[in-house]
Structure 1
């Protein structure tokens, strides 16, 4: 997800809302499906290239998955 003009706090809150929505259980026939998500966040200084930001976000996601 890319967004413009978010503070770190706002980005974390938005990520938490997305994660809560994704984590709702789904009922399919007789089975309950539980989904979870990890979200990596990177905040740009406005100067960084997109490929660098993508790598940073990927590393943040990896750290989030580790718990």
Structure 2
């Protein structure tokens, strides 16, 4: 009985936890036309560099 629960739990974890997370990572590195864009699609600002977006200024030490 407990093996059946573990198998169902593992399948649900894979279907609703792991696979959506992997899909989100894939989308993060995909360009608008569907090709691989690499890290060029990620934001180029950081709090340490002082180039913070306007909405993020409360946490910046710039």
User: Relative contact order, CA 8 A, sep 6+: which one is greater?
Assistant: 1
Shorter-chain TM-score tier = 0.3 to 0.5
Higher strand share: 1
* Structure whose alpha-carbon radius of gyration is higher: 2
